[in-house]
Structure 1
Amino acid sequence: MNKLVFLDFDGVLHPTHFAGEDPFNRVHLLEESLAGSDLEIVISSSWRFTHSIEKLRKLLPSSISNLVIGVTGAPVIGKYPRYQEIQTFLQSHGHSNWRALDDSYWEFPTPCPELIRCNPNTGISEKQIQELRQWMIA
């Protein structure tokens, strides 16, 4: 079974507040690490509420957009909402080997070994890329 990455945008592919900066200014780090990968990506970002999956794919480099298989579903209200959204997706699609690239750590239980936590002020960095690579080769 393929490995699955749940991808947030804000705080991962660019800083949460990226005024004056290009959106997706950190996506090149993810693109380099996924080159030649057979991972599948599910977009868990709140951008899924305002953009179609086709539009979301167009925002990403083709090497990443080609790996996108879907988006998480309806928002969950309550404790650990992003985690619950991911669990709902996993239950309906039969996946079990996953990681989440996300800066919203409070939306996940502690500990959550599947969470690769990004810094919302910078977005993804080499530290998170290394975590992702270690999991990819395991």
Structure 2
Amino acid sequence: MACLFLDFDGVLHPDPCSRDQLFSNMVNLETAMSGIDGIEIVISSDWRKVFYSGGYAAQNVCREVRSPEEMAKHFPESLQASIVGVTPFIGLMDLSDGQLNLQHERHIECLAWLEQHRPAARWIALDDRASSFPSDCEELFLCDRSLGLTHEAALRLRRRLMSLV
């Protein structure tokens, strides 16, 4: 098995985007994954976070993450069974050294999920934020946030995914 850690904003749709553009690149993700067995999707997007206190999400407090089943509702049937988890939110993680380093937040969250669920798995993070990963992270597949996962990028991603299984 191999894991695809998936962001939404800037990947499955441009960021920013209008409501009618939400998930407009989902068909490209389907293209990338079509016919490849052994790839599990783990949601790493901020969409997994449940915020409290009303108002703008960035000002609110995340106290939990949504379930994989809840996140799967955003996906077509062809991909729903591939969704196996959501990464933990670093703000809720018990870090043994007591240090909270947000410099490479998504990377830390992906590694934490792997350690708990698939320690030996190969993986790719599909994201639009290079700053969320170390500059030498070979597992990062970076999207242009203004476009998201284009058809051409999906074909490149497909080759990378095939090399994992």
TM-score, normalised via structure 1 length: 0.90
Residue identity in the other structure for 1:136: L
Unmatched 5+ stretches in structure 2 = 51-65, 92-99
Q: Distance in 2 between matches of 1:114 and 1:128?
A: 15
Aligned to 1:89: 113
Question: Could you list the runs of 4 or more consecutive aligned residues of structure 1 that deviate by over 6 angstroms after TM superposition?
Answer: none
Structure having the larger proportion of residues in strand: 2
TM-score, normalised via structure 2 length: 0.76
Alignment of 1:1-138 (within 5 A): 2-19=1-18, 21-38=20-37, 39-50=39-50, 51-76=66-91, 77=100, 78-93=102-117, 94-138=119-163
Alignment coverage as a number of residue pairs: 137
**Higher Cα Rg: structure 1 or 2?**
2
Cα displacement string for residues 27-83 of structure 1 (whole angstroms, at most 9, x for unaligned residues) = 101112212222100000010013443231111111111100000012255220000
Residue identity in the other structure for 2:90: P
Unmatched 5+ stretches in structure 1 = none
Q: Percent identity?
A: 36
CA RMSD, aligned part only? 1.6
Question: Does the CA-based 8 Å contact 1:11-1:120 persist in structure 2?
Answer: yes
Could you say what secondary structure the match of 2:144 adopts? coil
